[in-house]
Structure 1
Amino acid sequence: MRSVDVSTEIIINRPVEAVAAFASDPDNATKWYVNIKSVAWKTPKPLVVGTQVEFMAAFLGKKLVYTYEVTEFSPNKNFVMRTANGPFPMETTYHWQKISDSQTRMVLRNRGTPSGFAKWITPIMELAMKTANRKDLKRLKDLLEKDRTN
């Protein structure tokens, strides 16, 4: 079975602490992810390894509801979530690298193995994910560079 592995990166002109804090907060997901429509915490805040968050998204014309569980959280370095419940197994990784005191490289990676109907459209899904990830990172960059209070 063919898996999906999409990695996208961007340089954001903000300190790594600001980028990581904003991007790793699930409450901000609807602000920078084009396809995420709602977020619901399934476990109490704050975000720690084991936290579960439910996302409702629209992707390729379908409504998707899935729960991610945080499997790794190293502030200002890495943030990894895996589906605990959803249409197919997926892992999302954020990696932040300090370039300077005012610049951060952020890598967004999604990988997984589609199942059911999705496995037949894996190449289309991969292309759509890459396009969406580019838009999402651009939106995050624009948001953080415009609003210096985040």
Structure 2
Amino acid sequence: MTGVDVLTSIVIARPRDEVAAFASDPDNVTRWYRNIVAVEWRTEPPARVGSRIAFVAHFLGRRLAYTYEIRELDPGRRLVMSTAEGPFPMETTYTWDDEGAAATRMTLRNRGTPSGFARIGAPVMAAAMRRANAQDLAALKRILEQ
């Protein structure tokens, strides 16, 4: 079965804790993720292991609604969330590393194994995800470096 594994990173000229705090807060997602149009907490904030957050996105011309559960959270270092719902179970990982005295390398990884019809389009989906992730990280960089 063909899986999707997309890794994208960017250096942001802000301290790691600041980048991580902003990027890991689901309430900020619609500000920097171009395709995500709505976010709704399914558990009480703040984000912690076990938190569930529902997202609505538009991707490749389709409306996607899914709920992520936070699986790992090491504040300022790493966040892993995943979903098993729908035709495309996905895991998203954010990592933040110091890049010099006052900059951060943020890495965004999306991986999953599409099923059914989505499996056929996995290579196209991976390419589209790579482009979207690069645009989203660039938007995050613009916001945080203002």
Would you call these one fold, judging by a TM-score over 0.5? Answer: yes
2:51 corresponding residue in structure 1? 51
Q: Give the gaps of 5 or more residues in structure 2.
A: none
Report 1:1-150 matches (<5 A): 1-146=1-146
What's the secondary structure of 1:86's corresponding residue?
Answer: coil
Q: What is the aligned-residue RMSD (CA, Å)?
A: 0.8
Report the Cα distance in structure 2 between the residues aligned to 1:137 and 1:27, rounded to whole angstroms. 16
The 8 Å contact of residues 15 and 100 in structure 1, kept in 2 or not, is answered as: no
Q: CA deviation at 1:46?
A: 1.3
In 2: Cα distance, 1:82 partner to 1:104 partner: 24
2:101 and 2:70 map into 1 onto residues whose CA distance is: 27
Q: Secondary structure of 2:99's match? A: strand
Unaligned runs of 5+ in 1: none
- Secondary structure (helix, strand or coil) at the match of 2:121 reads helix
Q: In the TM superposition, what whole-angstrom CA distance separates every residue of 1:86-132 from its partner, at most 9, and x where no partner exists?
A: 33210000000012331000000000001122111001000000000
Percent same amino acid among aligned pairs?
Answer: 56
Q: Tell me the distance in 1 between the aligned counterparts of 2:73 and 2:86.
A: 21
Which letter maps to 1:112?
A: G
Q: Could you tell me which amino acid in structure 2 is paired with residue 32 of structure 1?
A: W
TM-score, normalised to structure 1, is 0.95
1:84: how far off? 4.2
User: What CA deviation, in whole Å up to 9, does each residue of 1:10-61 have, x standing for no partner?
Assistant: 0000000110000000000000001000000000111110000000000000
Q: Is the 8 A contact 1:29 1:39 kept in 2?
A: yes
User: Does the residue aligned with 2:44 lie in a helix, a strand or coil?
Assistant: coil
